[in-house]
């Protein structure tokens, strides 16, 4: 492992790298003292690289596995009569987690698929960008995360608290950076989603 320290003497240990589908830059996965932070590095050894200390509940090894592998559940062939969104989910279940885009993760979460593995990744992204815009409008990832459902949040109260904190503490200031139309669209969807979320 490679060890490096920041100006405060905090050491971090490089564990692995993978190409981020979110930034199209290579991610250096580290275990270190600044958990839950995404930040650029000025270290010349890691040019065009972001250093990421992942939250504890994201297993680095999982990023190189598919949902089919992780859940040990092969859905088989895609039904001809399935709607396009479900057909895409069949395909996405066989992509490595580290190759999924935020839009892919949003779609799968919206269908209630792979929540145990995808929600920690989504929440980690929302800490950095609470109104991440995937396919439809700013905040569409957060809206689907809020709708993840009673069963998931009952089993994962820490994730519930994290999402609640993001909505209450980060969304209001992020909204100020949107234009009027985007803000209205985001607010309409998020207000509906947060009502469902608070019923958990």
The 3-state secondary structure of 77-91 reads CCCCCCCHHHHHHHH
Stronger pLDDT, 181 or 63, i.e. the higher one: 181
Percent of the chain with pLDDT over 90: 58
Contact indicator for 93, 66 with CB cutoff of 8 Å: yes
Residue 32 is part of which domain span? 2-53
Query: pLDDT of 15-46, one tens digit each?
Result: 444 444 444 444 444 443 333 333 333 444 43
Check whether 78 has a pLDDT greater than 80: yes
Confidence of residue 83 (pLDDT cuts 50, 70, 90): very high
5/11 Cα distance (integer angstroms): 4
Question: What integer is the mean pLDDT of 113-137?
Answer: 91
Query: Does some domain include residue 9?
Result: yes
Query: Does some domain include residue 125?
Result: yes
Give burial (CB, 10 Å; 0-12/13-18/19+) of 44: exposed
Check whether 73 has a pLDDT greater than 90: yes
Do 102 and 177 have their domain in common? yes
Question: What integer is the mean pLDDT of 119-141?
Answer: 90
What pTM does this model have?
0.74
Local structure of residue 168 (DSSP, 8 states): I
How many domains, the chain?
2
Do 43 and 106 have their domain in common? no
- Would you state the pLDDT for residue 59? 64
Mean pLDDT, the chain, integer: 78
Do 37 and 69 have their domain in common? no
Query: Does some domain include residue 127?
Result: yes
Local structure of residue 55 (DSSP, 8 states): -
93/171 Cα distance (integer angstroms): 30
Do 47 and 73 have their domain in common? no
Residue 17 — φ and ψ, nearest 5°? -135, 155
Query: Does some domain include residue 59?
Result: no
- Would you state the pLDDT for residue 11? 39
Query: Does some domain include residue 192?
Result: yes
Do 39 and 133 have their domain in common? no
Query: Does some domain include residue 58?
Result: no
Query: pLDDT of 89-104, one tens digit each?
Result: 999 999 999 888 889 9
Question: What would the two tokens of residue 35 be?
Answer: 């958990």
């Amino acid at each position: 492992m490679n060890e490096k320290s920041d100006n405060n003497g905090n050491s971090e240990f490089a564990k692995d790298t993978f190409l981020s589908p979110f930034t199209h830059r290579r991610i250096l996965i580290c275990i270190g003292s600044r958990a839950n932070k995404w930040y650029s590095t000025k270290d010349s050894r890691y040019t065009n690289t972001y250093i990421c200390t992942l939250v504890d509940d994201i297993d680095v090894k999982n990023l190189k596995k598919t949902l089919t592998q992780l859940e040990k559940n092969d859905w088989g062939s895609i039904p001809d009569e399935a709607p396009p969104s479900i057909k895409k989910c069949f395909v996405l279940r066989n992509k490595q987690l580290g190759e999924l885009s935020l839009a892919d993760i949003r779609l799968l979460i919206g269908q209630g698929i792979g929540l145990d593995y995808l929600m920690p990744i989504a929440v980690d992204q929302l800490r950095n960008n609470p109104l991440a815009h995937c396919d439809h409008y700013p905040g569409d990832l957060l809206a689907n995360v809020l709708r993840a459902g009673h069963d998931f949040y009952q089993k994962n109260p820490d994730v519930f608290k994290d999402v609640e904190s993001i909505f209450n503490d980060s969304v209001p200031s992020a909204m100020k950076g949107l234009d009027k139309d985007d803000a209205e669209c985001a607010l309409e969807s998020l207000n509906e989603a947060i009502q469902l979320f608070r019923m958990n």
